[in-house]
Amino acid sequence: MISSSVRSRQPAREPWSLERLLLGRALALDHALDSSTHASYSSALNSYLAFCQLHHFPLDPTPDTLSLYVVFQSHHIEPRSVDAYLSGICSELEAFYPAARANRRSPLVARTLKGCKR
């Protein structure tokens, strides 16, 4: 532990629980996006959550799940829009699934998206 011989002017503070720290961080991250971007990302996330629930898939955005989502969504909306949806989904889920962005850039997802765009 690091100690200092200089007295701190900081007031004594009580430690926060991990739960309180995580909640505070979640709120800060929630406010980091512009409100219009947040609304778009939330819509994309809702779409992905509905897809996972409908097909009984886990929420973890693996390359396999994301590529299946691309195929499904591309049947319902413009495939170029699915590309934007993936960005929103990963932005919203990466706090819970750190590999979300890497999975989104995987060759399987990229090629699936490319095929759907054609």
In-domain check, residue 13: no
Can you give the CATH number for the domain in which 89 is found?
A: 1.10.150.130
- Using the structure block, give the residue that is written with the tokens 């829009």: 81
The domain tally of the chain equals 1
Neighbouring C-beta atoms of residue 90, cutoff 10 Å: 23
In-domain check, residue 60: yes
In-domain check, residue 32: yes
Domain ranges, residue 90: 22-117
C-alpha span between 31 and 102 (Å, rounded)? 24
What is the average pLDDT across 101-114? 96
Cα(first)–Cα(last) distance of the chain, in Å? 59
Residue 94: pLDDT over 80:
yes
What is the average pLDDT across 70-97? 92
Q: Which residue has the higher pLDDT, 36 or 51?
A: 51
In-domain check, residue 73: yes
In-domain check, residue 43: yes
In-domain check, residue 112: yes
pLDDT category, 27, cuts 50, 70, 90?
A: confident
C-alpha span between 79 and 8 (Å, rounded)? 57
In-domain check, residue 15: no
Orientation angle between helical segments 107-117 and 63-76, nearest 10 degrees: 10
Predicted TM-score (pTM) of the model is 0.69
In-domain check, residue 7: no
